[in-house]
């Protein structure tokens, strides 16, 4: 026969073991819940980090490698349309002084820095200015160091170096690779 004290002791042991089992079960489910919350947070942080890296890549690509630009106006007829052509622009050539005579380039306007102009390079630094007597009043002139001489293909309707003189090479944004809209062609 068990005494009353022994029965009370057994009850307390049983109750204590049941409460420990419950707390273990609750602890495990709480741990699982916390782990799943941590995984969700890590997943969100990974996604944010991936988006930030992709945005940084696109910024560098746009700023230093390639760009898309619209060329409007009559100065580059017949090479480009007056209504506006979309062109691919590569930005590497101006950084390494790879611009040469005959390239079509886009640069900031020397007269209005908020606008860009699209022109053909007629001469680079050290080369003679084409038809210098018409623009400079001298029989011969050369393009100064660090500058280029730009002319529009439509000389009758183009504001170019004949009007504003040699253009600083620092104003160059890039060299036109090709026109891709409304039709594909190379300049």
* Core vs surface per residue 101-127: b (16+ CB within 10 A) or e: eebbbbbbebeeeeebbbbbbbbbbee
Q: Beta-carbon neighbour count of residue 23 at 10 Å?
A: 11
Asked if 23 is an active-site residue, the reply is no
User: What does the alpha-carbon distance between residue 174 and residue 67 come to, in Å, rounded to a whole number?
Assistant: 8
- Given 50, 101, 119, 183, which residue is catalytic? 119
Q: What are phi and psi of 167, to 5 degrees?
A: -100, 130
Burial class (CB in 10 A: 0-12, 13-18, 19+), 77: middle
Q: Which of 75, 109, 155, 161 is catalytic?
A: 75
- 150 near 73, Cβ under 8 Å? no
- Which residue has 């049983």 as its token pair? 14
Q: Is 109 a catalytic residue?
A: no
Count other C-beta atoms under 10 Å from residue 169's C-beta. Answer: 18
Which residues are known catalytic residues?
Answer: 75, 119
């Amino acid at each position: 026969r068990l005494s009353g004290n022994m029965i009370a002791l057994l009850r307390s042991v049983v109750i204590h073991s049941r409460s420990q089992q419950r707390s273990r079960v609750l602890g495990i489910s709480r741990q699982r819940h916390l782990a799943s919350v941590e995984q969700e947070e890590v997943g969100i942080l990974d996604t944010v980090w991936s988006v930030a890296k992709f945005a940084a890549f696109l910024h560098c690509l746009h700023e230093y490698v390639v760009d898309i630009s619209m060329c409007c106006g009559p100065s580059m007829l017949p090479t480009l349309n007056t209504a506006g052509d979309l062109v691919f622009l590569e930005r590497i050539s101006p950084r390494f002084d790879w611009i040469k005579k005959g390239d079509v380039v886009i640069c900031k306007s020397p007269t209005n820095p908020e606008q860009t102009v699209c022109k053909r390079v007629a001469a680079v630094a050290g080369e003679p200015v084409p038809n210098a007597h018409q623009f400079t009043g001298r029989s011969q002139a050369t393009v100064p160091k660090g500058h280029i001489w730009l002319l529009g293909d439509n000389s009758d309707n183009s504001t170019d170096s004949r009007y504003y003189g040699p253009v600083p090479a620092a104003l160059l944004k890039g060299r036109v690779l090709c026109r891709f809209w409304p039709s594909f062609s190379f300049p």
